[in-house]
Structure 1
Amino acid sequence: MNRSEIEQAVLREMHSLPLDKVEATLNFVLSLKNKPVKKRPLGLLKGKVEFAIDENFKMTDEEFLQS
Structure 2
Amino acid sequence: MNRAEIEQAVLKEIHTPSLDKVEATLKFVLSLKNQPVKRRLLGLLKGKVEFAINDDFKMSDEEFLRS
> Which TM-score band (shorter chain)?
0.5 to 0.7
- What's the counterpart of residue 17 of structure 1? 17
Aligned to 1:39: 39
CA distance in 2, matches of 1:60, 1:42: 26
The offset of 1:14, in angstroms, is 0.6
Structure 2, gaps ≥5 residues long: none
User: Which has more radius of gyration?
Assistant: 1
Deviation of residue 50 (structure 1)?
4.2
Identity of aligned residues (%): 70
Offset of residue 42 of structure 1 = 4.4
How many residues align structurally?
63
Provide the aligned C-alpha RMSD in A: 2.7
What's the TM-score, normalizing by structure 1?
0.64
Which deviates more from structure 2 when the two are superposed, residues 23-32 or residues 42-51? Answer: 42-51
